[in-house]
Amino acid sequence: MEKKTRFSIWYVLIAFWLVLLIQNLIVTQYGPRRIAYSEFLDALEEGRIIEVAVSGDVVSGQMRAAGDNQQSPLAFVTHRVEPELAQKLAQQNVKFRGEPKSTILRDLLSWIIPVFLFFGLWLLLMRRFSPGSPMLEFGKSKARVYAEQDIDTRFEDVAGAEEAKEELAEIVEFLKSPERFESLGGRMPKGVLLVGPPGTGKTLLARAVAGEAGIPFFSISGSDFVEMFVGVGAARVRELFRQSREKAPCIIFIDELDAIGKARGAVTVGGHDERENTLNQLLVEMDGFDPRSGVVILAATNRPEILDLALLRAGRFDRQILVDRPDLRGREAILRVHTRKIALGEDVDLNVIARKTPGFSGADLANIVNEAALLAARKNKRQVEMSDFDEAIDRVTAGLEKKNRLINAKEREIVAYHETGHALVAAFTPGAEPVHKISIVPRGLAALGYTQQLPTEERYLMTRGELLGKIDVLLGGRVAEMLVFCDVSTGAHNDLQRATDIAQAMLEEYGMGNTLGLATYPRRRGNVLLGEQIPSPGGKPYSEATAARLDEEVRALLAEREQSVRALLESWRELLEKIARRVLEVEVIDEKTFNDLIGRKEEG
């Protein structure tokens, strides 16, 4: 390698000198004619000099040839001699000429410095384009490699995903003792896809697998494969798999797989889709991957519905493991993990906190623990108390408390009766979730108050009566305003929108109406795991006449529930006034106080 580089340097130097030589010959042949100074003086005496430019000792200009006035002027250059010496030499008929002074500085500027500049430029280019330089590292893998001693995450650090851990424990066993499975003819899955909402611990599970197995861990995001240069993504995929084979057994973890794994065939701007090339290379690498090499590919996504089917077939991602939001026991276990290093007060009950956080992911629970610790530190407490956790939950769910937001007395009274209406309807509606807190303290962007309900148990199905109860609770605030003030406000906007959505879902999706009967037309589509709801493209799948009857049935259903709520609140009018006045006094009423006001014992 060194000899090849040395020869190339000599070739460049020889070429450079040849260029300078050719330039000198061209200048000599086609440049101005160099004449003796005596010849210049003779031409001057004969009147053949046309024009002259003098610069120091250099005299240049144009002259006519001797004896011919029709020829084109000739360019000349000469160096003058001292006048006294020139006169003496001319008297003796001696031909004489001047020569420029030769200086070392001029030689350096005209020859040596250009050589060094050219040589330096050549070295810079050679280093920039040499192997390992940044200019040629577009195809290098951007995966972060963690050695086995750098991974301290274990399964005991992951809580709330017991089923997923059991599935992944088999992968760990295969990596530790593959001969036990191969003796029975079994093979290790080539790929495992972790599917679930954001914040449920997919990346943490992948690190725990590497930590339990004690092997290197390659971590890369799907977006790291895609660049603006064509072919870079495919090159990075090849490089990643090459490195993994060298460090086998190991684990490759690709986070956000949907960044490169989207279904092919979509119309793209331009004639070439770099993402499809990257996906094709990933499919090829996984298809030709030897499961006996001891390399496991883990990937995570929260959008499995957009992945290419070729990526999900058997032989590539053999297993798909759901990492869902934790249930009550899972939330309590997650809280126990995140509070290991927190100084907890004696009144802190993690089970109660878990009951207050239904639907929260592991990341949400970690955020609540951190917020509670920050709040306790802000108040100079030595321990984190239950009140800090309650305030942290309110801050995460309802938003930051707006202490400086001024509300006039009239609006404050409307908000109090509005929230009390929600709470009373929830308290006396069968199947409704119990009231946990009533607050008229402004929070978040636009919430002037809120009524917090918490489920008593984990629910996965809802009956028609329970859905109607939800609509009743949502309409309770507006009906209370109408009863007390004989007028309504804009505060019920979100309540009416949610009540309408429930009513439409009952009639169009759940088969609980008369117009469609058992026929269902999903109004919204999206990721079931994330709870996303995206309007279905292409408009409504039924006729305009059916749409008109559905709209009428929705209006009739909401009007019927409004009359039911009105009758309930009218029967409890005195209690409505009592609780609302109490809310105006203290601003926040907890579950125990509310149950005392309505004469109900708090359920254990």
Q: What is the CATH number of the domain that holds 366?
A: 1.10.8.60
Last residue of a domain, one of 322, 337, 352: 322
203 among annotated binding-site residues: yes
Question: How many structural domains is the chain composed of?
Answer: 4
Residues 363 and 301 both lie in one domain: no
196 among annotated binding-site residues: yes
Residues 339 and 478 both lie in one domain: no
Residue 236 lies in a domain: yes
79 among annotated binding-site residues: no
Closest CA to 358 of 216, 531, 112: 531
Residue 13 lies in a domain: yes
Residue 378 lies in a domain: yes
Residues 62 and 154 both lie in one domain: no
- 261-311 residue pLDDT tens: 887 765 455 434 677 778 888 888 877 666 666 778 888 888 888 888 888
Closest CA to 369 of 408, 404, 402, 343: 343
78 among annotated binding-site residues: no
Task: Please say whether the beta carbons of 135 and 217 come within 8 A.
Answer: no
Residues 301 and 367 both lie in one domain: no
513 among annotated binding-site residues: no
Residue 525 lies in a domain: yes
Residue 139 lies in a domain: no
Q: What distance in Å separates the CA atoms of residue 526 and residue 523, rounded to the nearest whole number?
A: 10
Residues 360 and 419 both lie in one domain: no
**Tell me, what CATH number does 422's domain have?**
1.20.58.760
Residues 577 and 446 both lie in one domain: yes
- 524-562 residue pLDDT tens: 554 444 444 445 555 677 778 888 888 999 999 999 999
Residues 345 and 438 both lie in one domain: no
Known catalytic residues are 419
DSSP state for residue 262 in the 8-state scheme: B
Residue 604 lies in a domain: no
Residue 404 lies in a domain: no
Residues 312 and 170 both lie in one domain: yes
- 208-243 residue pLDDT tens: 888 888 888 888 887 777 765 566 777 888 888 888
Domain holding 362, by residue range, is: 328-397
Residues 162 and 239 both lie in one domain: yes
Residue 513 lies in a domain: yes
202 among annotated binding-site residues: yes
Q: Give the per-residue pLDDT at 243.
A: 83
Classified as helix, coil or strand, 146 is: strand
The pTM (predicted TM-score) of the whole model is: 0.66
Residues 381 and 462 both lie in one domain: no
Residues 173 and 257 both lie in one domain: yes
Q: How many CB atoms lie within 10 A of CB 544?
A: 8
Q: On the CB side of 106, how many CA atoms lie within 13 Å of its CA?
A: 4
Place 134 in a pLDDT band, splitting at 50, 70 and 90. Answer: very low
DSSP states of 397-439: HH--B-TT----HHHHHHHHHHHHHHHHHHHTSTTPPPEEEEE
Q: Residue written as tokens 């003058």? A: 80
